[in-house]
Amino acid sequence: MSGKVSRQILLYGVVCLAILIVPVLVDDAFLLNKYARYLIFGMLAIALSLSWGYAGILNLGQATTFGLGSYCMAMFLKLKTVPIHTGSDGLPDFMVWNNVTELPWIWVPFHSMPIALLAGILVPALFAALLGWFMFGGRIAGVYAAIITLAAMVVVNLIIIDQQSYTGGFNGITDLARFEIFGLTFDAYSASTYYLVAICLTVTLFLALAVSRSKTGLILQAVRDQEERVRFFGYDVALYKTFVFALSAAIAGLAGMLYTIIMEFASPTFLGVPLSLSIVIWVAVGGRQSLLGAMLGAVLVTGVQGALSETEAFLETWTLVMGGLFVLIVLFMPKGLAGAFEALVRRFPKAERKGGARHATEQTSKSQPHLGGAL
Amino acid sequence: MSLVGFPHIWSKNSSLAFAQDGEIKVGVLFSLTGTTAIIEESLNKATLMAIEEINANGGINGLKITPVVEDPASDPATFAEKARKLVLSDRCVSVFGSYTSASRKAVLPVFEKQENLFWYPTLYEGRECSKNVIYTGAVPNQQQDDFIPWLVEKFGKRWYLIGSNYIYPKEENNYCKKLLEGLGAEVIAEEYVPLGHSEFSSVINKFRSEKPNVIFSTVVGDSVVALHRQYRAAGLDPATMPMASLTTSENEVAAMGGDAAAGHFTSAPYFMVFDSPENQRFVEAYRSRWGGDKVTHFVSESAYFQIHLFKQAVAKLAASDIGPLAIREAVKGEEYKAPQGLVKVEPENLHCWLRPKIGQCKPDGQFEILTQSADWLEPNPYSAYPNQKCTAEGLKEV
């Protein structure tokens, strides 16, 4: 068991190290910015893998919490810009456009960086905890929980578009200052911003790994496979599910904050249905029961997507090609790339004796009917 | 590991000239997939056609324009990513693109921080004063200054304002209300429906009970189609209660059918039927290049003529001087005989002097041009805010 754990930690460590040395090899602002964006998607995939792969909660609204984090950071950075219409003490431009005369109370705390950073993580987490408490407390599971997450996202999205005097509406929050902390300025195109994202990703990955390996993680997997039995053992199933749902939201919130720094704006499309469904696809492609697999799945899919759409031959058909690839992967690799990789490793008898890969696969097969129902 | 970073690492390329190997690269950034693809594809086509025309005539001082086409997929984040690629990786000297304000706002930081130049062909709400954008579409004063008084005189003083709920309709209405006040007209209702709204029966009931003289519609996208069709289905009469729009072009009319649009009015600098040798050439070239059933409209016309303005600006520069900011300086005050008539780039605010016209839609899906402004009209992106003015030095309080 301990050999297996250390081997896994080694593998995760090697991947994170590889991610961290990229700026040494790539001296190109555009590429670093693009790769950092992919890594943020990787964090989102980790977040979904935690709730979907480990606890069986298919969150079709993962982008909600991502967007909330993104807006928290955008509000903070917006208040740091000097508005061209109203001078240094003036209101953000879009508020002036909407005839708002004083800063709304909800914006006031975002003058403070510690509060804004905390809010970027806690607001999504609390939102998810509340939603989770209602859903899981009411023993709503499977496809119904998935629909509620989707509906909640649509509601939040509509509110943001509608309340344009507070949120910038359809255009989102644009024209932001650069993020500065401890005297460092994080320009979207710099190696320092790439490192910021890479370090957050590493911390997130190991935190998620630690949770998945903890007693809580085991209980969550048990919940995923046989919820009733775990309940009969006397565990508070709703509490465990709410916990992992909120943790997943906190990770997505952090990713959202980084996304605002990288993209230099926040938009209601960040908490849209297309992004949410994309996250599900990344995780399905990478392998939902492997945190690393899901993360690499996101990086791979978005990378291929970017490359394909920039290839002249696929300019008008790239969405079709991507769709075809997804269908093929889901048909022939139901456990994603991580599952395929583990199956490959299992062919070597030495690895099989250790039992690591087989253990994971057995869990997968056991949970299959359950997840099939969820989908 | 250093966290200090290298904020200027992209400058490793800056020694390279923009015009190289007999070509000059430009970005073309219109959605070819996603929700706004239908209209943006027509802008892509008009842009590429103008580039082909220039290249067929020997390019610019012997330099060929090479378009780098990207598909931002109707998604603001993808717009920002592709804009970055075009500016930083492809080193385009300018980028032509985007239709919605949301996507323009998403790409703005890229052009402002990288000191590049973006060319935006769509009419929009104004109130923007970027030094890195050339705006070739109309702003509120250009579409409304002639239109509103004309409608008041012809139909009356009771106005109903209906729009989609976002910044564009609100800004257009801000200016409209100012004009109406000056004319002694009355706004009996100002209503906003959610974007994409398609159920207008309650709105149409209010039209029926309030009996406005004019319905000023700044509804956009698919909602335009729904509003016109339901107005028609309700049996209301455009002869006594017309809808006046700033966004309904040949393109939207093609989507809703000429019957639903017939009798309503649009104000724009360009209509497909406009009679000028330049327009005849433009429409014929467009149809022979892209298909005989295709329509041109006021945004695709801007997408077309802005390439020619670009060409004229670049032609003034020595090959070694060609760069985004040199082009911006060179295009100031530049004039071009566009399909709509002679247009000019205003040196102060980088918007264009345009020639507004009032059109009435006919059942065949085309417009009949009823009047056109006597002269070109100055662009004033801050028309509703007389104490602010966009100048070459930035926004000024006056």
pLDDT tens-digit readout, B311-350: 999 999 988 889 999 999 999 999 999 999 999 999 999 9
Inform me whether the pLDDT recorded for B388 exceeds 50.
yes
Residue A356 lies in a domain: no
Q: Do B9 and A94 touch (CB under 8 A)?
A: no
Q: Which residue numbers of B have CB closer than 8 Å to A's CBs?
A: 1-7, 9-10, 12, 32-33, 69-71, 73, 75-77, 80-81, 84-85, 88-89, 101-102, 105-106, 108-110, 113, 127, 129, 165-167, 170-171, 194-195, 388, 394-395
Q: Do A192 and B75 touch (CB under 8 A)?
A: no
Q: Do B165 and A164 touch (CB under 8 A)?
A: yes
**In chain B, % of residues over pLDDT 70:** 96
CA atoms within 13 A on the CB side of B173: 27
Model confidence at A355, pLDDT cuts 50, 70, 90, reads: very low
Interface mutation target, options B81, B92, B124, B165, chain A, most CBs of A under 10 Å? B81
Q: Chain A to chain B, count of Cβ pairs less than 8 Å apart?
A: 137
Q: Spell out the alpha helix ranges (H) of chain B.
A: 37-56, 76-84, 101-113, 140-144, 147-155, 167-182, 201-210, 222-233, 250-256, 258-261, 277-290, 298-315, 324-331
Inform me whether the pLDDT recorded for A54 exceeds 60.
yes
pLDDT score recorded for residue B181: 94
pLDDT score recorded for residue A319: 77
Model confidence at A87, pLDDT cuts 50, 70, 90, reads: low
Q: Do A267 and B106 touch (CB under 8 A)?
A: yes
**CA dihedral sign, ordered B355, B361, B367, B369:** negative
DSSP A268: G
CA dihedral B20, B21, B24, B27 (to 10 degrees): -100
Residue A324 lies in a domain: no
Q: Between residues 265 and 284 of chain A, which touch chain B (CB distance below 8 Å)? A: 265, 267, 269-270, 274
pLDDT score recorded for residue A309: 79
**In chain B, % of residues over pLDDT 90:** 71
**The whole model's pTM is what?**
0.85
| Secondary structure of residue B173 in the 3-state scheme | helix
Q: Which helix (H) or strand (E) holds B344?
A: strand B341-345
Residues in chain A within 8 Å Cβ distance of B66: none
Domain count, chain A: 1
Q: Quote the CA–CA distance of A348 and A364 in Å, as a whole number.
A: 20
Reported as a single tens digit per residue, the pLDDT across B279-307 is 999 999 999 999 888 899 999 999 999 99
Residue B148, Ramachandran bin (φ over 0: left; ψ between -120 and 50: alpha; else beta) = alpha
Residues in chain A within 8 Å Cβ distance of B81: 34, 37, 306
Q: What is the mean pLDDT of chain B?
A: 90
Inform me whether the pLDDT recorded for A122 exceeds 90.
yes
Residues in chain B within 8 Å Cβ distance of A189: 7, 9-10, 88
Residue A191 lies in a domain: yes
In the numeric block, which tokens belong to residue A151?
């509906």
Inform me whether the pLDDT recorded for A181 exceeds 90.
no
∠ CA B17-B305-B246 to the nearest 5 degrees?
130
- Tell me the shortest Cα–Cα distance from A174 to chain B, in angstroms: 6
**Among A162, A171, A265, beta carbon nearest to B165:** A162
In the numeric block, which tokens belong to residue A342?
């583990």
Inform me whether the pLDDT recorded for A71 exceeds 80.
yes
Residues in chain B within 8 Å Cβ distance of A184: 3-5
Residue A142 lies in a domain: yes
Residue A314 lies in a domain: no
What is the DSSP track for A283-348? HHHH-TT-HHHHHHHHHHHHHHHHHHHTSGGGTTTHHHHHHHHHHHHHHH-TTHHHHHHHHHHHTS
| Secondary structure of residue A89 in the 3-state scheme | coil
**CA dihedral sign, ordered B246, B252, B256, B262:** positive
> Residue A184, class by beta-carbon neighbours within 10 Å (0-12 exposed, 13-18 middle, 19+ buried)?
middle
A190 touches chain B (CB under 8 A): yes
pLDDT score recorded for residue B119: 97
φ/ψ of B371, rounded to 5, equals -145, 160
Residues in chain A within 8 Å Cβ distance of B88: 28-30, 33, 189
In the numeric block, which tokens belong to residue A98?
């909407």
What is the distance of C-alpha B245 from the center of its chain? 14
Q: What is the mean pLDDT of residues B106-115?
A: 90
ipTM: 0.79
**Which has more pLDDT, A341 or A193?**
A193
Q: What is the mean pLDDT of residues A230-242?
A: 91
Q: Between residues 35 and 64 of chain A, which touch chain B (CB distance below 8 Å)? A: 37
**Among A28, A164, A309, beta carbon nearest to B167:** A164
In the numeric block, which tokens belong to residue A258?
């980084």
Q: Quote the CA–CA distance of B230 and A153 in Å, as a whole number.
A: 30
Q: Which domain holds residue A259?
A: 2-275
Q: Do A319 and B33 touch (CB under 8 A)?
A: yes
The answer to whether A269 and B76 have CB atoms below 8 angstroms apart is yes
pLDDT score recorded for residue A312: 74
**Among A34, A170, A312, beta carbon nearest to B81:** A34
Lowest mean pLDDT among B39-43, B90-94, B96-100, B218-222: B218-222
Q: How many CB atoms lie within 10 A of CB B183?
A: 15
**In chain B, where are the structural domains located?**
16-139+275-354, 141-273+358-397
Model confidence at A84, pLDDT cuts 50, 70, 90, reads: low
First-to-final CA distance of chain A: 32
Give which of B90, B141, B136 is closest to B116, Cα–Cα.
Answer: B90
Question: Is 3.40.50.2300 the CATH classification of the domain at B16-139+275-354?
Answer: yes
DSSP A51: I
Three-state SS string over B81-121 comes to: HHHHHHHHHCCCCCEEECCCHHHHHHHHHHHHHCCCCEEEC
In the numeric block, which tokens belong to residue B48?
């590429």
Residues in chain B within 8 Å Cβ distance of A321: none
In the numeric block, which tokens belong to residue A44?
């989102």
pLDDT score recorded for residue A366: 41
Residue A333, Ramachandran bin (φ over 0: left; ψ between -120 and 50: alpha; else beta) = beta
Q: Which residues pair with B377 in a beta bridge?
A: B354
**Which has more pLDDT, B162 or B195?**
B162
Q: Which residues pair with B25 in a beta bridge?
A: B66
**Among B4, B32, B80, beta carbon nearest to A184:** B4
Q: Specify the CATH superfamily of domain B141-273+358-397.
A: Response regulator (3.40.50.2300)
Q: What is the mean pLDDT of residues A17-39?
A: 90
